[in-house]
Chains A and B, each alone.
Chain A
Amino acid sequence: MGSSSFSKAQEFFRFLAVAVLSLGLMITDYNSSLLEQFRAGIYYLVNPLERIAQVPRHLNAWFESTLQRDEDIRLENEQLKLTLAQLRSQLFLAQRFEEENNRLRNLLETNPSIEHWQVIPARILASPGYGMETWFTLDKGSNDGIDLNLPVVLGGALIGRITQVTGHASRVTLITDAHQQIPVYNKRSGVSAVLQGRNLGMMRLAFVDANADVKVGDELLTLGTGKIFPSDLMVARVHSVQSHDGQAFLDIEAKPERTLQSESYVIILKRQGGKP
């Protein structure tokens, strides 16, 4: 028997070992956060792969840009994009300061101030595919001071948070991801609730009382209670409101204020002087 050492039983036990190990990982990952460090470790291996996988996209972009413009214009364009991102972040901060001041003056309330948040522009390195993103990868990592859970904004609106970090890159999970939950309040009526991701670019406003004052178009802003996100950051707008007989809560869909289109840069917010 030529392959006696390679018996069916031996192969079955190999398969069984891998299957049991995989099942163990699945059960542990589903029920606890024990594997977060393990996942983060594997991400160190995945990150170079996803960078390589993006090479055709970058080559294509590069090829198009060299065909249409000369190198100087392309470089200038990159520089302008970075400057624009920085100016946007400054404008966004200025607007937030103004709103914060107004709130303090008008309501005599104390809110966690965002003046203690540092803005870090970052370039988008990779995303899973056009039009179906629930995450993307940035070119800033722990070597640039990026930590887990830092909020990421685009055009002054929250779009996600950092969920994995390596030395030179980080992974952002979008607020529309089905596992994301953000405490928010309705800017017009003050009703607070939890905004949950639903994939496909939509969100759901959960646990809003059937009698609550919520209308289509209402702006939803971060509450800032969890210490991850700054307060009063624009997140989404109410897209539809439905009430059903006999149900204690409204069925509310919301759309994020900003979504990734063709942007190359986003802003990471970091609380000055420490972790979020």
Chain B
Amino acid sequence: MNETAAPRNAHHIWVWLTALLALLFNLAPWPGEIKSFVPQMAFLVLAFWVIEQRQTSYFLLAFVMGLLLDVYANQLLGVSSLIYAIGLYWVHGQRLNLRSQTLLYQAAFILLVSAAMQLLTFIFIGQPPSADPWPFWLSPLVAAFLWPPLSVLLNQLALAVKP
């Protein structure tokens, strides 16, 4: 048995746990006018771990999170998985560059990726039922604002559980 396997597995458990916690954030019963602003927290957490980790892309985790989200929201199966995978692939391609950049630069990149994901959501399943269309299109901005504090928080965790 590889000696580094156990701590690495423990690290993966933290990744799964934080992604699950982030998913709960999206499942919470937010008031109607706020719900559309709430960004894809599970994706943000996965994006952080992809940037932070050198050797894992977490596509499987993205697939699982997407499926859970689709079943929860009663929507077309696989659509969130696909959109998460596309977003994550983009982040993965830029991870080396992003790792050396400031949080502000990373937040701008997250804004771009989130907007693209929102556009894909609109193309595949349209907007979720809401009286106003604009909160749906502003949620990438919220994602970008949340990125720095989320990144700092997860970074502390990553340092604490580093194998």
> Smallest distance from the beta carbon of B62 to chain A beta carbons, Å?
7
In the bound complex, residues from chain B placing their C-beta under 8 Å from that of A200 are 129-131
Residues on A with C-beta less than 8 A from B31 are: 129-131
Residues of A within 8 A of B33 (CB): 131
User: How many residues of A sit at the interface, in one of the four size bands?
Assistant: 35 or more
- Whether the Cβ atoms of A22 and B74 lie closer than 8 Å is no
Known: A14-B59, A127-B29. A24 touches B78 (CB 8 A): yes
Among candidates A26, A35, A53, A130, residue contacting B79 with C-beta atoms closer than 8 Å = A26
Contact B130–A132 (Cβ < 8 Å): yes
Q: Which of B9-17, B63-71, B143-151, B153-161 touches A?
A: B63-71
Give min CB distance, B130 to chain A, whole Å. Answer: 6
A117-136 interface mask toward B, CB cutoff 8 Å, 1 = contact, 0 = none? 00000000011111110110
**Interface pair B78/A15, CB less than 8 Å apart:** no
Is A19's CB under 8 angstroms from B86's CB? Answer: yes
Bound Cα distance A52, B77 (Å): 22
Given A18-B59, A43-B71, A49-B27, A23 contacting B78 (CB threshold 8 A): yes
A199 within 8 A of B: yes
Task: Write out the residue numbers on chain A whose beta carbons fall within 8 Å of the beta carbon of B76.
Answer: 26, 29-30
* Given A129-B31, A134-B129, A15:B85 Cβ within 8 A: yes
Q: What string of 1s and 0s marks CB contacts (under 8 Å) between B38-81 and chain A?
A: 00000000000000001101011011001110011110111101
Q: How far is the CA of A46 from the CA of B27 in the complex (A)?
A: 10
Note all chain A residues with C-beta closer than 8 A to B129.
132, 134, 199-200
Q: A11 contacts which chain B residues (CB < 8 A)?
A: 57, 89, 92
The smallest C-beta distance from B156 to any residue of chain A, in angstroms, reads 23
- With A and B bound together, what is the CA distance between A54 and B63 in angstroms? 24
How would you classify the secondary structure of chain B's contact residues: helix, strand, loop or mixed?
helix
Complex Cα–Cα for A15 and B83 (A):
11
B82/A19 in contact, CB under 8 A? yes
Contact status A130-B29, CB under 8 Å: yes
Q: For the complex, what is the distance from the CA of A50 to the CA of B72, rounded to whole Å?
A: 8
A3, B54: Cβ atoms closer than 8 Å: yes
Task: Select from chain B the residue with minimum beta-carbon distance to A53.
Answer: B27
Residues in A whose Cβ lies below 8 Å from that of B6: none
- Write out the residue numbers on chain A whose beta carbons fall within 8 Å of the beta carbon of B78: 21-26, 29
Do residues B81 and A22 form an inter-chain contact, with CB atoms below 8 A? yes
Q: Which residues of B contact A3 (CB under 8 A)?
A: 54-55
The residue from A38, A46, A132 contacting B35, defined by CB atoms under 8 A apart: A132
Are A35 and B86 touching (Cβ within 8 A)? Answer: no
Q: Does A246 contact B (CB under 8 A)?
A: no
Interface hits, A8-49 → B, CB 8 Å: 11-12, 14-15, 17-19, 21-26, 28-30, 35, 38-39, 42-43, 45-46, 49
Chain A residue nearest to B72 in the complex (CB): A46
Q: When A and B form their complex, what is the total count of cross-chain residue pairs whose Cβ atoms lie within 8 Å?
A: 119
Give the distance in Å from the alpha carbon of A49 to the alpha carbon of B32 in the complex.
20
Whole-angstrom CA separation of A19 from B130 in the bound complex: 29
Q: Is the CB of B130 within 8 A of A42?
A: no
Within 8 A of A (CB), among B115-163: 124, 128-131
Which of chain B's residues has its CB closest to A127's CB?
A: B29
Chain A 130-151 interface 0/1 with B at a Cβ cutoff of 8 Å (1 = within):
1110110000000000000000
Evaluate contact between B85 and A39: CB separation under 8 angstroms: no
Q: State A200–B128 Cα separation when bound (angstroms).
A: 10
> From residue A195, how far is it (CB to closest CB) to chain B in Å?
17
Shortest Cβ gap from B152 to chain A (Å): 23
Contacts of B1 in A (CB 8 A): none
Smallest CB separation, A175 vs chain B (Å): 14
Taking the nearest CB of chain B, how far is it from the CB of A107, in angstroms? 39
CA distance A6 to B110 in the complex (A): 24
What are 9 A-B contacts defined by CB distance under 8 Å?
A14-B59, A15-B92, A18-B62, A19-B85, A22-B78, A22-B79, A25-B67, A46-B68, A177-B74
* Contacts from B to A (Cβ < 8 Å): 20, 23-24, 27-35, 54-55, 57, 59-60, 62-63, 66-68, 71-74, 76-79, 81-82, 85-86, 88-89, 92, 124, 128-131
